[in-house]
Amino acid sequence: MSGRFRLALIGGALAALAATPAAANGKGQALTAEAARAKVTLHDDPLEPEAVLSTEKVLRSTRGVLRTPHNDNHLRASVDRRTGEARFEVRQTLQYVGNYRDFSRAHFETSSAPAAVDLRKLNENQAQCDAIDPQSACWEEVSFTVDEAELRRMAAGASSGAIWSFKFKPQLGREHRANLPKVEIAGLLQAVDDYRARATSAHGAP
């Protein structure tokens, strides 16, 4: 093998590594519900009506040698400090090259049939995406809500490797498919249950 050919192979491998999300969406690593629970973050400001718990630090979807975040997602629970009721949502960043897609709907697995919901747009760079050139880097940050009972059904008996699948549908261009480990769901639910138990102990039942 010539030195020039060897260098070409190495360069091609590095380019592929830089262009491919790590570990198939970054969620393919072995994970347990207990390990996920340990990484759930809690923001509990006494001047806010809701406490926020997030799995953002559980597993990150990254790409390239520097492992920068790419098409990452996580779960978020907003728990009413007075009643203990919680609102659960999936938050997803969508990064792509080409025309702005304007993702507007999500389809996701449930215990019975696929569900379809509208997305909430949290952030985007449409102005920059449309203004530069057709190959510019575009991104959108979106979310959709999921019923707590459905999450508990999916998390029941969750094993490492089991995933929850969903996809995002745009106004223009290709849809984006993603997933979350079911043990990540279980870890967040454990954290929510722990928070509710502490709140009840400290303040009495809602």
User: For 145, phi and psi rounded to 5 degrees?
Assistant: -95, 150
CATH number of the domain to which 133 belongs:
2.60.40.1880
Report the number of distinct structural domains present in the chain.
1
Q: Are strands 50-54 and 73-80 parallel, antiparallel or unpaired?
A: antiparallel
Which SS3 state, helix, strand or coil, does residue 93 take? strand
Dump pLDDT digits (tens) for 40-95.
999 999 999 999 999 999 998 777 675 667 899 999 999 999 999 999 999 999 99
Confidence (pLDDT) at 17: 38
Residue with tokens 């979807």: 61
CA–CA dist 29, 179 (Å, integer): 13
Model pTM greater than 0.85? no
Count of CB atoms situated within 10 Å of the CB of 185 = 28
pLDDT digits (tens, 9 = 90+) for 15-47: 333 333 333 344 545 899 999 999 999 999 999
**Which residue segment(s) compose the domain that 179 sits in?**
3-203
